[in-house]
Amino acid sequence: MNHEPWLAALTGELRRHGVGPDLTGHVVAEAATHLLDSGESPLRVFGAPETYARAVVDSLGGPDVRPPRRQPGPVRLAARGVTKRYRGRTVLDRVDLTVRAGQIAAVVGANGAGKSTFLRICAGLLSPEAGTVEVHGTLGYCPQDGGTAEFLSPDEHFVLIGAGRGLGRTAARRAGRAEAAGLEWTPPRRTQARHLSGGTRQKLNLVLARLGEPDVLLLDEPYQGFDRGTYLDFWHEVWRWRDAGKAVVVVTHLLNQLDRVDVVLDLSGERNA
Amino acid sequence: MNQERRAQWLRGVLDLCVLALLSRGESYGYELSQALRAHGLGTVQGGTLYPVLLRLQRSGLLTAHWREGGTGPARKYYRISPAGSAALRAAAIDWSAFASSVGTILREEPKR
């Protein structure tokens, strides 16, 4: 039986409902496989494309049934009195932040408030004028942009970065692909990073930061270029990492997720304009 | 069994049944629908099953990955997460208590 018209209509309906291309691809591929296995008509198995698309969308925004959060663990990141000046201007003024295992910290503030600077200091890429940063455990850092190599494929990235974190080739590739699946992304085998879209390159960036499952994750607005579905995927992954006992620091200017984080560091008032 | 009533009951427990089946090993949608049928729950159509799987995945109770089939097409395999196992354990206890309460009421002798 030819299911293509129904599958094409489902693709269109999912898009219309704001489901991103990756998740749409997964839902449609899964439906197509089911139809092959069962040999039944799509209308019988899934109903009208519009109805099924709505059921999919409803399930994305469904109630949160995760078990209650565990108690946060030991301190993983402790920044004390971090101060940074650029050309006589104080960007960060005695900033403190403590993040424990099993906590998410959001770093918020206007453009130029020093969010990325603070994260780079936490990552050890930049020295502060004053103050200390202690990291207890392994560290993963996802920069706002960059971080990927133009001429390497996603798998080559996994192997390269994985090697630095003690993973063999096979383990690194498997770990990278498993992380990518969490973002509903199946990395293409031979495509070089320069041919990936901006959003997809950000996914790669994020997957690289997660390789080896570091104890502390520093994420600098890692969802730029993500569509709505992937953005939701991203937050679900962050919550999952927290529940696995990771300490996560996310730089964000989107405040609508703040009720789902544990610590908020607002840098807006830190600086005299 | 009254089809409509069974569908109604199933709505409340399908996610638990899926978690329980997956606690015995990873599986994919079609295989899960076959397993539900084999357990006497009748036909659970894809339009009902996959949104439940997606919701469980989103909630972190399941993880999913695609795997190429030896002969067939690539399939999305689901696996229960530690959070899913914990949720299942808690809900199984709740369900036993609930089902036994219903059973007690249904078995009570009518007063004369």
pLDDT tens string B30-47: 999 999 999 999 889 999
Q: Which two tokens stand for residue A244?
A: 């696995």
Calculate Rg over the CA atoms of chain B: 16
Q: Cβ separation of A64 and B74 shorter than 8 Å?
A: no
For A33, the closest of B33, B64, B75 (CB atoms) is: B75
Closest Cα partner for A121 from A132, A110, A112, A111?
A132
pLDDT tens-digit map of A57-116? 888 864 343 444 567 899 999 999 999 998 888 999 999 999 999 999 999 888 888 999
Gap between the Cα atoms of A52 and A11, Å rounded = 11
Q: What pLDDT, on a 0 to 100 scale, did the predictor assign at position A65?
A: 38
Q: Please give, rounded to a whole number of angstroms, the shortest distance from the CA of B109 to a CA of chain A.
A: 38
Kindly list the residues from chain A whose CB atom is less than 8 angstroms away from the CB atom of residue B83.
66-67, 240, 243
Give residues 6 to 65 of A whose Cβ lies within 8 Å of B.
26-27, 29-34, 36-38, 44-47, 51-52, 55-56, 58-60, 62, 64-65
Q: Cβ separation of B65 and A181 shorter than 8 Å?
A: yes
Q: What is the CATH number of the domain that holds B73?
A: 1.10.10.10
Q: Which bin fits A191, alpha (ψ -120 to 50), beta or left (φ > 0)?
A: beta
DSSP A56-120: HHHHHT----PPPPPPP-SEEEEEEEEEEEETTEEEEEEEEEEEETTEEEEEE-STTSSHHHHHH
Q: Which residue has the higher pLDDT, A25 or B91?
A: B91
pLDDT of residue B96 exceeding 50, the answer is yes
Tally the domains of chain B: 1
Containing structural domain, residue B40: 3-107
pTM of the entire predicted model: 0.56
Q: What pLDDT, on a 0 to 100 scale, did the predictor assign at position B47?
A: 95
Q: pLDDT grade, residue B7 (50/70/90)? A: confident
Q: Cβ separation of A62 and B63 shorter than 8 Å?
A: no
In a domain, B33, yes or no: yes
Phi, then psi, of B66 in degrees rounded to 5? -90, 140
Q: Which two tokens stand for residue A134?
A: 């202690």
For B60, the closest of A36, A60, A239 (CB atoms) is: A239
Q: What pLDDT, on a 0 to 100 scale, did the predictor assign at position A270?
A: 47
In a domain, B112, yes or no: no
Kindly list the residues from chain A whose CB atom is less than 8 angstroms away from the CB atom of residue B62.
none
pLDDT tens-digit map of A133-176? 999 999 999 988 778 899 999 999 999 999 988 889 999 999 99
Strand partners, B62: B80
Q: What pLDDT, on a 0 to 100 scale, did the predictor assign at position A122?
A: 96
Q: pLDDT grade, residue B4 (50/70/90)? A: confident
pLDDT tens-digit map of A195-235? 998 889 999 999 999 998 999 999 998 888 887 777 777 88
Q: Please give, rounded to a whole number of angstroms, the shortest distance from the CA of B110 to a CA of chain A.
A: 39
Assign A191 to helix, strand or coil.
coil
Q: What pLDDT, on a 0 to 100 scale, did the predictor assign at position A269?
A: 66
